Chain A
Amino acid sequence: GNSVTQMEGPVTLSEEAFLTINCTYTATGYPSLFWYVQYPGEGLQLLLKATKADDKGSNKGFEATYRKETTSFHLEKGSVQVSDSAVYFCARISNDYKLSFGAGTTVTVRA
């Protein structure tokens, strides 16, 4: 089936630490992949995306590379800030244009 498996949290880091959130997917073909961020009490915001193999999405210091060999789309940031505290969702798009989300990873960055 089509699904997204995401590293479970919660993750707690100090400011300026390196962040990685693992995400793998199952699919037929090469679906577009996304990372969304949700701040407390809000909806989702698109953080970055990649539409084909080897694409690298980047935004606000976050990066993720579409790896077809490992069917992965891991999210990384080299130096996190307190303002990065949020819930992060990995997602993929299905043939009928529906988004499938991972379970979400709560990230807390401490000053």
Chain B
Amino acid sequence: GAVVSQHPSRVICKSGTSVKIECRSLDFQATTMFWYRQFPKQSLMLMATSNEGSKATYEQGVEKDKFLINHASLTLSTLTVTSAHPEDSSFYICSARDRQGGGYTFGSGTRLTVV
């Protein structure tokens, strides 16, 4: 079945530094990748949608300069949290939409802690 690899699974960083999270579709080409944020005991909040080779589309209220998304190929998208602050601590999940079948596959998530 379709597999999406997301890493790192956990990262701790200092305030002011930047962190990059990778999301890779292993056995299919992803037309579109989605980035979500999940707070404890809450649902997933869509942050942005990225299409290969074009700029990401951000949801209202999400700072595009803070959450940089790059979708350089049909199998890789990255989310960079720039100048991280403790309030950016959260669980970040990516999802990839299969170019052919249209199904959605989720990564295993990244737990970011900013200290």
Q: Is the CB of B6 within 8 A of A43?
A: yes
- Chain B residues with Cβ below 8 Å from A46 are 103-105
How many residues on chain A are close to B (CB under 8 Å)?
Answer: 17
Interface residues of A in 80-100 (CB under 8 A from B): 89, 96-99
Interface residues on B, range: 20 to 34
B43 touches A101 (CB 8 A): yes
Residues of A whose CB lies within 8 Å of any CB of B are: 36, 41-46, 89, 96-99, 101-104, 106
A43 with B42, Cβ < 8 A, contacts A98-B34, A98-B49 known:
no
Across the interface, name the chain A residue whose C-beta is closest to B108: A43
B43 cross-chain contacts in A, Cβ below 8 A: 89, 101-104
Q: Sorted from nearest, which 9 A-B pairs have the closest CB atoms?
A: A43-B106, A44-B106, A43-B108, A43-B109, A101-B43, A103-B43, A104-B43, A101-B44, A43-B93
Please determine whether B6 and A99 come into contact, CB atoms closer than 8 angstroms.
no
| A44 surroundings in chain B (CB, below 8 A) | 44, 93, 95, 106
